[in-house]
Amino acid sequence: MLKEKDPSILFSEASSGDRRSLGRLITMIEDGDKESQVISSLAFKTPGHSHLIGITGAPGAGKSTLTSAVVSQYRRAFKSVAVLAIDPSSPFSGGAILGDRVRMGDHVLDTEVYVRSLATRGELGGLAACVPEVARLMDAMGFDVVIIETVGVGQVEVEIAALADTTVVVVNPGWGDAVQANKAGLMEIADIFVVNKSDRPGAKETARDIEAMLDMSNLNAWRPPVCLTVGIDGSGAAELCEKIQKHLEFADESGLLSKHRSNRLKEELERKVASELFGRAKSMMENTSVKSLVESVIKGEIDPHEAAVKVVDLVMVEEGFHAQKSH
Ligand SMILES: Nc1nc2c(ncn2[C@@H]2O[C@H](COP(=O)(O)OP(=O)(O)O)[C@@H](O)[C@H]2O)c(=O)[nH]1
Ligand SMILES: [Mg+2]
């Protein structure tokens, strides 16, 4: 058993390159323990310069393979990279970790590359809440590039992908793949499109489909480029990295980057407020005076909406009471 350790000690150990300590910090954030607040605040006070890149697409599109090829490109430029692989379908010790280790095999001995799978312990919403915090920790640790790999199906996953400074959407050759991406809401969040597995027939046609869709959509100043890649041999990875860099420069110069980052912080704050209130309301519902309210709902005496408003009012009153007491 690992002994409990002060998160601030772990933080300074991790900062000086101790990967084991870094791993434990991430686990604390995932678990959402009390310590995670300390870690968040330490990371927030130690801003780095990370470029946050999201890589998303359907399962099996080749995201992990492509990520490994992209990591190789960054290593050639002597940039340090952290990869956060998010796989809600496989809880801890599941296939995700093993699979990513295998595919990231080229980088296993590289101390400037850190790969970690984030698994959902609770609900998916919990993961959405912890990803920005883990990403910020990676930034505080001084990584030049942080890549978040996420499956682009479902609202929460798309939300996670949209957290990045630059979002790369991966599709495969084949009729309708671009249409599927569009349906999944990936079209709106893409800064760059990749047709991976372009060693297979139909890659150029798929690229053309995407261009046609882009022609029909309302674009702002940035038109997402479409790259063709072969993840397994790394073809096209250098061009993809060039486009990623171009997008970063564009976003930076146009002010979009800082606007996007501010919005992200605001949304994160809103989510935190909601979950904090939810937690307090929930513990309040164990309270005897509120319990009778629950019973009234069950008996049909009061409707759930009205009861909910009463519970929130009670939370507010309680908080006001505590605030006054502490003054
Ligand atoms: N033919 C071909 N296969 C690929 C390519 N990229 C990945 N694959 C294969 O596609 C499968 C799924 O890849 P993986 O990276 O795990 O996809 P992910 O689920 O999106 O992360 C694996 O068997 C890869 O070897 C490619 O460019 N061409
Ligand atoms: Mg993968």
| pLDDT at residue number 259 | 94
Neighbours of 32 (CB within 10 A): 16
Give phi and psi for 197, each to the nearest 5: 65, 35
The Cα 220–Cα 208 span in angstroms is 20
| Cα(269) to centroid(ligand 2), Å | 29
Least confident interval from 126-130, 162-166, 187-191, 281-285: 126-130
What is the tens place of the pLDDT at every residue in 85-95?
Answer: 886 554 433 33
Mean pLDDT of 284-293: 80
The Cα 236–Cα 229 span in angstroms is 4
What is the tens place of the pLDDT at every residue in 101-112?
Answer: 445 666 767 788
**Domain edges within the chain:** 1-46, 47-254, 266-325
Closest atom of ligand 1 to CA, residue 58: 20
| pLDDT at residue number 48 | 96
CA-closest residue to ligand 1 atom 7: 62
Q: Work out the pLDDT band at 1, boundaries 50, 70, 90.
A: very low
pLDDT at residue 323 greater than cutoff 70? no
Q: Residue 106, CB half-sphere, CA atoms under 13 Å: how many?
A: 16
Q: Would you say 122 and 107 are in contact if contact means Cβ atoms under 8 Å apart?
A: no
Question: Which carries the bigger pLDDT value, residue 36 or residue 104?
Answer: 36
| pLDDT at residue number 103 | 56
| pLDDT at residue number 326 | 61
- What are the beta bridge partners of residue 55? 149, 168
| pLDDT at residue number 319 | 67
CATH number of 47-254: 3.40.50.300
63 closest CA partner among 149, 181, 153, 123: 149
Mean pLDDT estimate for the chain: 85
Mean pLDDT of 229-246: 97
55, 65, 68: residue to mutate for ligand 1 pocket, most atoms within 8 A of CB: 65
| pLDDT at residue number 126 | 61
| Cα(32) to centroid(ligand 1), Å | 33
CA-closest residue to ligand 1 atom 24: 62
Mean pLDDT of 124-142: 84
What is the tens place of the pLDDT at every residue in 303-313?
Answer: 999 998 988 88
| Percent above pLDDT 90 for the chain | 52
| Cα(29) to centroid(ligand 2), Å | 22
The two three-digit tokens of residue 294, written as one number: 């629950």
Token pair 């919990």 is found at 126
Q: Which residues line ligand 1 (CB under 6 A)?
A: 57, 59-65, 103, 196-197, 199-200, 230-232
| pLDDT at residue number 92 | 39
| pLDDT at residue number 96 | 40
Q: What is the DSSP letter of 50?
A: P
pLDDT at residue 212 greater than cutoff 50? yes
